[in-house]
Amino acid sequence: MTTIELWTFHDPGFADRDVVGYSVEAADGSFGKIDEASYEAGAGYLVVDTSSLANLGFGKHALIPAAAIERVDHDGKTVHLTLTKGQIKDAPEYQGFDDAYRERVGGYYGPFLMAPGMVAPSMAPVDRR
């Protein structure tokens, strides 16, 4: 069995270019713009500004684990996700980043990001200090 690493980018070249300011496309449509990105090994994520979707019940920001990135179109400055807007909307609300929040987010997104035959991931990123 394989374990998915939620906080690791599938494409090792992803961290070579800054994606802050890129548009984000969920599996079912436009989702917002990237405000912040962590490229740290084992602790990769995006913080997406979703304020344009506030009328749909979204908060101001959403945290997206690195494993949810399907592909990056650098020419079009767009990051494509495997998650739907509904899955992201129902995630724990982003109010800052700490280990407890990472665990909640990992526990929520883990089942959506596992392919058949995978086992539950370690929810907390690796502390590389």
Residue 17 lies in a domain: yes
109 lies in which domain range? 2-113
For 82-116, what is each residue's pLDDT tens digit?
Answer: 999 999 988 888 888 788 888 899 899 988 887 64
Residue 12 lies in a domain: yes
Residue that wins the pLDDT comparison between 24 and 56: 24
Residue 122 lies in a domain: no
**Spatial distance between the Cα atoms of 75 and 65, rounded to a whole number of angstroms:** 22
CB neighbour list of residue 90: distance below 8 Å, 6 or more residues apart: 108
Q: How many domains are there within the chain?
A: 1
| pLDDT score at 36 | 94
The CATH number for 73's domain is 2.30.30.240
Residue 6 lies in a domain: yes
**Residue 117's pLDDT band (boundaries 50, 70, 90)?**
very low
Residue 129 lies in a domain: no
Residue 41 lies in a domain: yes
Q: 113 and 65 in contact (C-beta within 8 Å)?
A: yes
Output the six-digit token pair for 98.
Answer: 């700490």
